[in-house]
Amino acid sequence: MTSFDMAISPTKASKAPTKATPIVLVVDDESDILELADDAIARGCAARVLRAGNLREARKIIAREEIQLVLADACLPDGDGTELIQTLRDARPQAGFVLMTGHASVDRSVGAFRSGAIDFLAKPFTESQLTDRVQKAIQFQDGIQRNERRIEKLKRAVRKLNNARRMVSKKVDLLCNDLVSAYGDLARQFEDVRIREAFRSTINASRDLEQMLCHSMDWILRQCGYTNIAIFLSGDDGTFELGAYMKYTIQGSKPLTEALKQGIIETIARDDFVCWSDREAGQLLSDVELDHLHGQGIIGVNASYLGESLGIIVMFRDGKAPFSSEDAATLRTVAPLFAHALTNLARAADGPEKWIEEPGADETGDGGFEDHFDQDPHHRDETTDHNDGFWADEPPKKNKPRKQDDADWWKRGEPPPY
């Protein structure tokens, strides 16, 4: 039994034709073999038989016809029959090859199988032997072709599944991105609400303008960290005057106040918001401003109510500690609340409202600056009476015991509690 016999189960030759009649090419220089093969294969295998007497004729037929099986003699007039194996692979890769020879040997059989033959038929052979081998070879090739079709079908299915998987993956990614964006938006909204409520509760507890300004600065410093912070308030003539200032690294002075009013404050009032790094500030500030603010990062917001600018909040500190996007978001969030609080305080005041400078400002030359803390957080300016109101017509109040407020550390001369 040959290796081909072990590869497929032996079955009786079927007389029923396949869906497509197989074409078998017999290549031999002996006419008797060709006649025997023609008659036996046509009857016993229901196949169409083509004949060739040498390699040249066989190659022409292989190139022209849809050959399924080639039976070729080992010794042909123009070469070895096994040379057709490569020709068959190139032209008809799904076709099979059976080698016929009258000089059978183990070495020759092994060589034929290594070259790509599917069976080996020794001469002489009977008609039944020939038909049996051809039938098995045709069935073997049919099985190979069915498997290849199944594999190709599976490959197409896998490609479709991969395409579907990629599409689903993209949709899942988009959905996940949408969910992440939605959760991010929700988180930002919650944070915005938290900031609003925290700031509102802080300024609503203030009893007067002075306390509201200082509590606002205290709250902002707790959120954004140590920084120089100034609040400018709008006057009746539309100009801005300094309302309050807390020093961190830069001493308040009249020249600094004027430089801010003529440069940064006007820019913030026009643009509503600025956030500059120290490098950007170095390119945008005037020489006069840079005399005071060289190397400082700057952030500021316009606090307006019903389209009217009521105040400007501006902060500046060393560019090595730049303001973050969270700082910018915080300042933008509290600005309208600060403007609304200013409006409520103005409405609550009795009589005409008039802004005045801090008493003693002309003598000290600080233009109304209040240095509530210095590089040394324990510093307190004893020249300023922080209990005085900021509105000229505010009636004098009786001294009543008040509950201590953590945000009034600046009045008590305490270091910042953060």
Strand order in the sheet with 240-246: 240-246, 228-234, 308-318, 296-305, 273-276
Tokens 């307006």, residue? 304
Ordered by where they begin, the domains of the chain are 3-150 (3.40.50.2300), 206-412 (3.30.450.40)
Could you read off the pLDDT tens digit of each residue along the chain, which spans 418 residues? 444 443 444 444 444 444 578 889 999 988 888 888 888 888 888 888 999 989 999 999 999 998 889 988 888 898 888 888 888 888 888 888 888 887 766 666 777 778 788 888 888 888 888 888 888 888 888 888 888 888 889 999 888 989 988 888 888 888 888 888 887 777 778 878 888 888 888 888 788 888 889 889 989 998 898 999 999 998 877 789 998 998 889 988 899 999 998 889 999 999 999 999 999 999 999 999 999 999 999 999 999 888 888 999 999 999 999 999 999 999 999 999 999 888 888 777 644 444 333 333 333 334 333 444 343 433 333 333 333 333 333 344 444 555 566 666 656 666 666 5
Q: Is the backbone peptide bond immediately before 359 cis, with ω within 30 degrees of 0?
A: no
Give the type of residue at 31.
S
* Per-residue model confidence (pLDDT) at position 416: 62
CA 169, distance to chain mean position in Å, is: 14
Tokens of 322: 């730049």
CA distance 142 to 150: 12
- pLDDT at 232 (0 to 100): 93
Structure tokens at 404: 């201590």
**Is pTM beyond 0.85 here?**
no
CA 2, distance to chain mean position in Å, is 61
**What tokens were used for 89?**
């692979």
Q: Measured at the alpha carbon of residue 44, what is the angle toward residues 41 and 45, in degrees to the nearest 5?
A: 65
Q: Is 52 helix (H, G, I), strand (E, B) or coil?
A: strand
- Of 222, 209, 207, 179, nearest to 334 by C-alpha is 222
Q: In 79-203, where do the E strands start and end?
A: 79-80, 96-101, 119-122
